[in-house]
Structure 1
Amino acid sequence: MSELRFEDVTVRYGGRRRGLTAVEGVDLTVPDGTIVGLVGESGSGKSTLARAAVGLTPVTGGRILLDGRPVRRGPLQMVFQDPYSSLDPRMTAGASIAEAMPRGTRDRGAEVARLLGLVGLEPDRAGMLPAQLSGGQRQRVALARALAGRPEVVIADEITSALDVSIQGTVLNLVRDLQRRMRLSMLFISHNLAVVRYVSDYIAVLYLGRVVEYGPADDVLLDPQHPYTRELLAAAGAAALSEPDAVADTEPADPHHPPPGCRFHPRCPIGPLVLADRDICREAEPAAGGHRHHAACHFAAAAAEPGLVP
């Protein structure tokens, strides 16, 4: 069993006056052997949560647990957005992969060849430097390096966003195949809901450091309960049709000074700026319980009514 759980996790940078709370009170579970897609706009706290999980960013409050115990670095491995900067340019692909193997690993050369095969690369790529590889090949090497550590959970942070569109689908297919073959638990992070929907069993939506909706992928995608999730879906559809961005025109609030109450209310198409009787959205922060998909919205049922949201 390899269940990753975030319990009331808060991450804050800086001091009280000028500090930034990047993640606040996040409760999120990555069930054993599943992919949870974490989606949200830039600045929502996705990468902060990922870095906290692997110990690269200290947690200000709450706990991160693996199978009920505090997380150690070894069982969690992270694949970063930019495969070129995440690999040492002076080390060959094989050396980078071998470096991540546990002590006592026998015949590292054979293990490197096996891992390269798992990610769809020929063994001769082991002798190449990152600069000699394409972007897609570098990201495959980064995946092989993560797998070399024999992780129980893999954190994939925007791993396709730096790749050409023609390569993204190949890498996503590889991720899905590896996860199923190895029964890994995975937190797959992206700002692109179309990418997340392709690989995920569950989807969590993050907005200004808080999870606003979480549930099985099909349920969230077919019947979203939070208006922000509906806006992201509309944006994903518009992007597929090469149309302008469909997310609300108003920019997200300053994360240094998030609005009171529901953090989405200044942009919400069913909130107090549109409907006069919804002052509660300005005054009280919505809980993530009481609605389907754990939607943190005072009017989640109304958000799903036809005609209220595009």
Structure 2
Amino acid sequence: MSELRFDDVTVRFGRGGRALTAVDGVDLTVPSGQVVGLVGESGSGKSTLARAAVGLAEPAGGQILLDGVPLRHRPGARRPLQMVFQDPYSSLDPRMTVGDSIAEAMPRGARRRDEVVRLLELVGLDADRVSAYPGALSGGQRQRVAIARAVAGQPDVLIADEITSALDVSIQGTVLNLVRTLQRELRLSMLFISHNLAVVRYVSDIVAVMYLGRIVEVGPARDVLGNPQHPYTKELLAAAPRRGSTALPPPDAVADAEPADPHHPPAGCRFHPRCPVGPLIRTDREHCLTLDPTTEADHRLHRAACHHAAGVLRAVGSNPPVLMELKEDSL
């Protein structure tokens, strides 16, 4: 088990007036042996942060550390971080068999044939799938192969990026149960990314909420989801499915206002143009337009990036909706 830490990490794309800061000064720790659920709507920077961790995006600032040592991605070297991608149809080479895809990720010297069979069984697939091509598999089976391939690399940390969003609802719960079981049995640290708070609650020990490239709230899952301090977290909770409801809401169902242009994020609090208790509603909160709440976040409960974290709960309501329990037959 290993600790993964993002220390003031920034990732930028492009140059000049159209440059985009997709991740902006993120501090986040994935403790050893625990699951951190990273949640936020599309475009918040979640996947970019994950890609930076595995070396697919170059940080413009800050450090990514594994057990306190800066990560170095060297060609041919063992990769202590492995990633399972969102789309099972594009994450596997269609010209390679399942067995070859899994074996390719294994360290040198491993007894590959036996290990491939063991990994297939570990993810709930028959050994005869070793000679099958991805085109002959269903989406759920492909995602199981992708998980087996990631585990084959013997990682210290597993990163799962929206791994159920492209799957049929009927099999999402099965894949989530598999991931949770593997994480516990293999004692992996995990960064689990999703737009769905119900899913994150099911698998995570810690929840981090991301908005426009920044972490706006983070803490133990039970605390953050039971006592949210940031209005954005509150809105995400309001959009999550309730107990007894089988309908999943749109992933971006947060307030009526459109998200800000990420090329030109708002000054002050980045959420203020959409905040239900912010300066557009409360005229006495004009400081939200100019003062950055992240500078004092460490002194607030859940490191909430909100000037009025305590007041927000009273204004919005202190009883968050109860999230549905995720089971194989309820997704």
- Select which of 276, 281, 284 maps to 1:274: 281
* Unaligned 5+ runs, structure 1: none
Mapping of residues 141-220 of structure 1, within 5 Å: 141-220=145-224
Higher deviation after alignment, 60-69 or 243-252 = 243-252
User: In the alignment, what sits opposite 2:290?
Assistant: 283
Q: 1:127 to 1:104 in 2, by over 3 A?
A: same
Query: What one-letter code is carried by the residue in structure 2 that aligns with 1:77?
Result: Q
Deviation at 1:18, TM superposition (A): 1.4
Q: 1:266 to 1:308 in 2, by over 3 A?
A: farther
Alpha-carbon distance between aligned partners in 2 of 1:244 and 1:70, rounded to the nearest angstrom: 39
Higher deviation after alignment, 245-254 or 19-28 = 245-254
Deviation at 1:238, TM superposition (A): 6.4
User: In the alignment, what sits opposite 1:103?
Assistant: 108
1:84 aligns with 2:89: yes
The residue matched to 1:188 in structure 2 has which SS? strand
User: In the alignment, what sits opposite 2:24?
Assistant: 24
The residue matched to 1:85 in structure 2 has which SS? coil
Alpha-carbon distance between aligned partners in 2 of 1:299 and 1:232, rounded to the nearest angstrom: 18
- Counterpart contact for 2:241–2:249, Cα < 8 Å: no
Deviation at 1:237, TM superposition (A): 3.1
- Select which of 301, 313, 328 maps to 1:304: 313
User: In the alignment, what sits opposite 1:63?
Assistant: 63
Deviation at 1:70, TM superposition (A): 1.3
Q: 1:53 to 1:279 in 2, by over 3 A?
A: same
- Counterpart contact for 1:269–1:308, Cα < 8 Å: no
The residue matched to 1:254 in structure 2 has which SS? coil
The residue matched to 1:17 in structure 2 has which SS? helix
- Counterpart contact for 1:92–1:127, Cα < 8 Å: yes
1:254 aligns with 2:258: no
- Counterpart contact for 1:238–1:244, Cα < 8 Å: no
User: CA deviation digits over 1:134-159, x for unaligned, max 9?
Assistant: 10000000000000000000110010
User: CA deviation digits over 1:96-123, x for unaligned, max 9?
Assistant: 0000001111x21100011111111111
The residue matched to 2:93 in structure 1 has which SS? coil
Q: 1:6 to 1:128 in 2, by over 3 A?
A: same
User: In the alignment, what sits opposite 2:325?
Assistant: none
Q: 1:241 to 1:276 in 2, by over 3 A?
A: farther
TM-score (norm 2): 0.90
Alpha-carbon distance between aligned partners in 2 of 1:72 and 1:243, rounded to the nearest angstrom: 40
The residue matched to 2:180 in structure 1 has which SS? helix
1:116 aligns with 2:131: no
Alpha-carbon distance between aligned partners in 2 of 1:141 and 1:155, rounded to the nearest angstrom: 15
TM-score (norm 1): 0.96
Query: What one-letter code is carried by the residue in structure 2 that aligns with 1:56?
Result: L
Alpha-carbon distance between aligned partners in 1 of 2:141 and 2:176, rounded to the nearest angstrom: 13
The residue matched to 2:176 in structure 1 has which SS? helix
Aligned length: 309
The residue matched to 2:25 in structure 1 has which SS? strand
Query: What one-letter code is carried by the residue in structure 2 that aligns with 1:222?
Result: G
Alpha-carbon distance between aligned partners in 2 of 1:284 and 1:205, rounded to the nearest angstrom: 20
- Counterpart contact for 1:6–1:63, Cα < 8 Å: yes
User: In the alignment, what sits opposite 1:42?
Assistant: 42
Query: What one-letter code is carried by the residue in structure 1 that aligns with 2:306?
Result: C
The residue matched to 1:41 in structure 2 has which SS? coil
Deviation at 1:6, TM superposition (A): 0.2
Deviation at 1:306, TM superposition (A): 5.8
